[in-house]
Amino acid sequence: MAILHVFDSPPPGANADWTMDQNWDDFTQAEHDIWDELVSRKAKMIASYASEAFVAGLGILELSKPGIPDFRELNPKLRAATGWEVVAVPGFIPNDAFFKHLSEKRFPVANFLRGADSLDYSEEPDMFHDLFGHLPMLTNPALADFLVNYGNAGLRAEAMGTTDFLARLYLYTVEFGLVIEHGRLRGYGAGLLSSLSETEHALTSPEVRRIYVDVPRVMRTQYHFDRFQEVYFAIDSFDELLRLTEETDFASVYARLEGLPPLEPGADCPQDIRCEAAC
């Protein structure tokens, strides 16, 4: 499957800020069936590997009910729980638009669904990844505040030309992050929780390195686009993640990292603190 939903400018039907109508009534029964099959396939993973915050958010937003969620029904629940809302976008959108939406508590959701031949893996984030993977965590206040801060930091990074560093922080937390709950590791990143195989890899593979989040270390670490990660970063709590980013002077970190070579995904650093919590 090729990555198709990338545009240089808003395509027909999209507004200047890249938002568009969800047009829920246009989704076919086949697409609703694919959504239901995807949700069904994730049931085992959620019970075994997902963080409590994710499970709680799933219940609040009722994302496990049949059919593709209708934003007209979803947004009132999301706003009541978090102050956020979701907006439909055509696919990958430019960094500045993405950061602005996050800073204003709008989460962009790709307005297309993977096909029946890509149930286990989609090369590009689709609405299942965005809605099922990301939305439940927005009901956690600390993670929701982290994303607002991230959006604001992203707008500053755009002006400084340092978005690559910030992108790595997003990937290793919001997409592939691990959290310790009751002494056990659980997944909270959307890239994990929309893929059973990578979640199992991240939490159970003896070849994976699991270390605690250190912001400069994360920002310096490259990642794989086309295969499972070799290192995953863990936090003790979402409040800790929020605190780490609030207390970090990103500009000084960027300045320090610009003089250093990036780290390979599987690099081992002397200052790394390994996470020994069991799955």
pLDDT tens figures, 170-207: 999 999 999 999 999 999 999 988 777 888 899 999 99
Q: Are 142 and 241 in contact (CB under 8 A)?
A: yes
* 24-257 CATH choice from 1.10.800.10, 3.40.50.2020, 3.10.20.600, 3.40.50.300: 1.10.800.10
**Collapsing DSSP states into helix, strand and coil, what is residue 61?**
helix
Q: Which residue has tokens 């996050």?
A: 102
- Does position 121 have pLDDT exceeding 90, yes or no? no
1: pLDDT confidence band, cut at 50, 70 and 90? very low
pLDDT averaged over the chain? 93
Q: E strands, the chain, where?
A: 85-89, 106-110, 178-181, 184-187, 209-212, 231-235
Backbone CA torsion sign across 139, 145, 146, 152 = positive
pLDDT of residue 2: 57
116: pLDDT confidence band, cut at 50, 70 and 90? confident
Mean pLDDT on 241-258: 95
Other CB atoms closer than 10 Å to residue 39's CB: what's the count? 18
- Does position 44 have pLDDT exceeding 90, yes or no? no
Locate the domains of the chain by residue range: 24-257
Query: In the chain, what percentage of residues exceed pLDDT 70?
Result: 99
Q: Which residue has tokens 């970090």?
A: 248
- Does position 263 have pLDDT exceeding 70, yes or no? yes
